[in-house]
Structures are given as structure tokens and as C-alpha cells.
A and B are shown apart, each in its own frame.
Chain A
Amino acid sequence: MAGPETDAQFHFTGIRKYFNSYTLTGRMNCVLATRGGIALLLYFKLGSKKTPAVKAT
């Protein structure tokens, strides 16, 4: 089972240190990044739908 004690066996460098699917921190960051990306996508999509008058000018 994954946990802080098993994370020590993985030695990543660079961006892989923070975004990977092996360590607890890496998995958490991937989940947050995916959800944040979806939230931003929905925000800009819904935001552009709400202001058609601005687009017409």
C-alpha cells in the first residue's frame, strides 16, 4: 500500500519530483492539476457564453 514510508524508494528529479503517479505528493499534485485544469476550462467556456453582447461589438 502506498504511503510516506514507501515514497522514499522513488528518486525523481525536476518536474517529475512533483508530478508523478508513484509518490503520494506526485499523485496528489496530478489530481489537483487535472481538476484545476477542468475548472479553468469550464470557467472560460461558461464565461464566454455569458457575454454575447461584448462579442458582437
Chain B
Amino acid sequence: MNENLFASFAAPSMMGLPIVVLIVMFPSILFPTPSRLINNRLISIQQWLIQLTSKQMLAIHNQKGRTWALMLMSLILFIGSTNLLGLLPHSFTPTTQLSMNLGMAIPLWAGTVITGFRYKTKVSLAHFLPQGTPLPLIPMLVVIETISLFIQPMALAVRLTANITAGHLLIHLIGGATLALINISATTAFITFIILILLTILEFAVALIQAYVFTLLVSLYLHDNT
């Protein structure tokens, strides 16, 4: 049972060869490139969704911030599609790997910070001290704000990893409990099955929400630095 619980989070391999790169690249197949002015239904729906999301997300940004539009839309599409595909039975979810999420969070966060220091050095440095701080508290607050800056990419990555991993573990556990209870008590097994259905619906929502939260936070860090 213990080995089976975490087996789904191990790096996948097929005939001894690692296939994690193929799995990471797979969601891009689901988003065909539009080749016509008026496309088929799938592409039209995807374009409509991307337009809706980008309008809402880029509304707060100035011209410089909007140069990140492609990056932010790619990010939300990738994380959302990866999380949703991970809800299929026996599939591997790349976003349960902390290494992968750190690999996304750290460069994006560093990009926003470096952009801020490069184009608005004074404002970026002044951000480390809230306006109106009493004199004796200044050194402490500068240290606290510096630490909170460096925690941002860690929090981004760990938030996504923990949410998706916890959801998958819960589904695994409650599914196992349902199976085990079938022979013991059919009523309890039925109640557990209802809980499993509700949890799966929740996990669908969490998959999309976590993609949105990740992208929104990157967008907010960018807004602070542009």
C-alpha cells in the first residue's frame, strides 16, 4: 500500500527509457496552431478562451508589462492542461515534481525582479521599505522585506506542488478506501464513493485554479516591477 501510494509520483519510464520529456511536451498537441483566419471549432474555442484570459490578466499592465503576454498565456495553458491531464487514471503529472515547478517559478520571478532593477532601479530598491516606517524599525523591515522577496519563488513552486500532490494522494486514498469497504459495508462504500466524486470535481477546479494563481502571481510580480 505504501509503495503504491507514491508510485504514481515516480519519474515515468517505458522499456527502461525515461519518457518524462514526452509527457511534458504532450499537452502542446492539444493546442493546434491556427492556420486560417476562421478556424475549426476546437481552435476557435481555444482562441476565445485565450482572448478572455489575456484581456482580464493584462488589463492592469502597462505597455512594458504587456510584452509578457505570450509568456503568461503559455504558462497558464501549460499548467492548466498538465494539471487536467494528470487527473486521468494512471497518468503522470509533471507539476507534482518540485523540480519542475521550481524550474518554472525561479526564472520567471528572477526575470521580473531583474526587469524592475534594470528599468526602475530607485523604485525597486525603495520597495524594500514601506512608506512611513518608524525610524527604529527600518533595519528590521528591510531585512524582512528582502527575505520575503526571496521566498516568493519558493512559495510559488511549493504551492503548486503541494496542491496537486495532495489532491492526487487524497483521490488515491479515498478510492482505495471505497474499494476496501465494498465487501465490508455497501452503504459506507457508497458514501465514500460520493465523497470521491465530490473530491474529483474539486480537483478539476483546483487544477484550473492553481494554474490561474501561479500565472496571476507572476503577473503581479511583473506589475510591481514595470
Contacts and interface: CB of A to CB of B under 8 A. Distances in A.
B122 A30 contact: no
Contact of B125 (A3, A22, A32): A32
Given A21-B132, A21-B133, A22-B132, A2 B138 contact: no
Interface in A30-48: 30-32, 34-35, 37-38
A34 B139 contact: yes
Contact of A21 (B122, B123, B125, B129): B129
A34 B142 contact: yes
B62 to A, nearest CB: 13
B135 interface: yes
B122 A25 contact: yes
Given A21-B131, A22-B132, A30 B123 contact: no
A9 B126 CA distance: 17
Interface in B149-164: none
A5 to B, nearest CB: 12
Interface string A1-33: 011000000000000000001101101101110
Contacts of B146: 35
B128 interface: yes
A27 B126 contact: yes
Given A24-B122, A24-B123, A25-B122, A31 B128 contact: yes
B130 to A, nearest CB: 8
A46 B131 CA distance: 33
A27 B132 CA distance: 10
A38 B130 CA distance: 19
A37 B142 CA distance: 12
17 contacts: A2-B126, A3-B123, A21-B129, A21-B131, A21-B132, A21-B133, A21-B134, A27-B131, A28-B126, A30-B142, A31-B126, A31-B129, A31-B142, A34-B142, A34-B143, A35-B142, A37-B139
Interface of B: 122-123, 125-126, 128-135, 138-139, 142-143, 146
